[in-house]
Amino acid sequence: MVLVEATGIEVQSYGTDAGLLEALREQWPIAGLAADGADGFRRADPSALAVTGAVRLTDRLGVALAAEPDGSFAAVPIAREEYGGPWRRARPGDGLSALAAGVPEASERPIGVDQTHESIVVGERAILKWFRHVGPGPSRASLLLAHLAEVGFDGIPAPLGSLAWRSPSGVGLTLAQGDAFLSGARDGWEWVMERCEAGDVSVGRELGALVIGLHRALATPSSVIQHPVGAAGREEVGRWRTEALATLDEAVALTANPELEAWAPAMRSVIESPAASSAPTQPIHGDLHVGQVLEWSGGLAVIDFDGNPALSEAGNAVLQPRERDVAQLLTSLDHVGRVVEHHRGGDRTAWIADARAGCAEAIDAVDAALVAAFEVEQECRELVYAARFLPRWRYAPMATLRARFG
């Protein structure tokens, strides 16, 4: 399966096991499904869905697939204690991740951070990410990682391989992605906040340099993505604007805050300000915030190319303007300052401005109006997320918007 000693990217693909599917249908919902409610972007409770696919890896380990209303699937790792016993949701220590990583006797431990997906460290050598939601199309992350590996970009953990399921429509859907584990790596929300607390603004330029290298690699042709550079026409640009304005309206309605209502006309003006009727596009990360950048002994590494979990499949198209990535990263630098202010006190306005400026200067020329529009849209998405799933997070995007529009 995902071989930790492999020199290339291994892909193991499985169809549905009819016997396992029948057993799961008889037992569904299985024990432990409540664990799948941990992420705020779950489309539906898998216990309420019909099981339509099943991957058998051993007599006691596998993956269940339950059909969601939009044509995608809830993917549930499963295990049982013994042959013939009842199936349940798999847990770290069952051996499923170690088996998929090609080292069945290795240790397993979860990464203890809030994630849209579930990541397991195997034997301190590999990290296996189990996707909670797959399809309806092929995996965005697998495509981009294979492309980056081929063009020689070293700013990612080395991809090792993936585990895929052949859906009823014949599409290969990635259930798990394996990458080399970077020992001692620290999440960006940790190390960037430390730099903020120390007043070190050079972090902005470092992140900008990483992003420009990433974008150049993504724009380099490969056998995986042969024609990476394109252009969005008037219709697509109009769709971006329409979606951003709809997100603004949703944020205002859900937040129900007089300040936000007062700022809304100015925010709308920023979203409508880009005058171009077309925009260059290329593969982008799609959800590029500081938490996606690890710091380790080898430097910085970008992770999680799955796209923005709050967006639809169309919203997570591989080819998009670089400005979307730039806007998301600049927004997250602003949020770092707001988080530090919230928890440590003090005024981080100067750090935010200088770090953002350094980041922007390190990146090639972009359409400033488009970046600004995407930034406002991203802040609105943050407010929608806060209203629906994490109310305590509202202070950060509100502080950012207050500084710009208040």
The half-sphere exposure of 182 on its side-chain side, counting CA atoms within 13 A, is: 20
Q: How much is the pLDDT for 115?
A: 59
Q: How much is the pLDDT for 189?
A: 95
Which residue numbers in the chain have pLDDT < 50?
A: 37-40
Q: Provide the CATH topology of domain 188-405.
A: Aminoglycoside 3'-phosphotransferase; Chain: A, domain 2 (3.90.1200)
Which among 159, 395, 145, 169 has a CA at the least distance from the CA of 260?
395
Q: How much is the pLDDT for 102?
A: 86
Q: pTM of the full predicted structure?
A: 0.90
User: What is the Cα–Cα distance from 275 to 296, expressed in whole angstroms?
Assistant: 41
Q: For the chain, which residues make up each domain, given as ranges? A: 10-180, 188-405
User: What is the Cα–Cα distance from 288 to 302, expressed in whole angstroms?
Assistant: 9
Q: How much is the pLDDT for 152?
A: 96
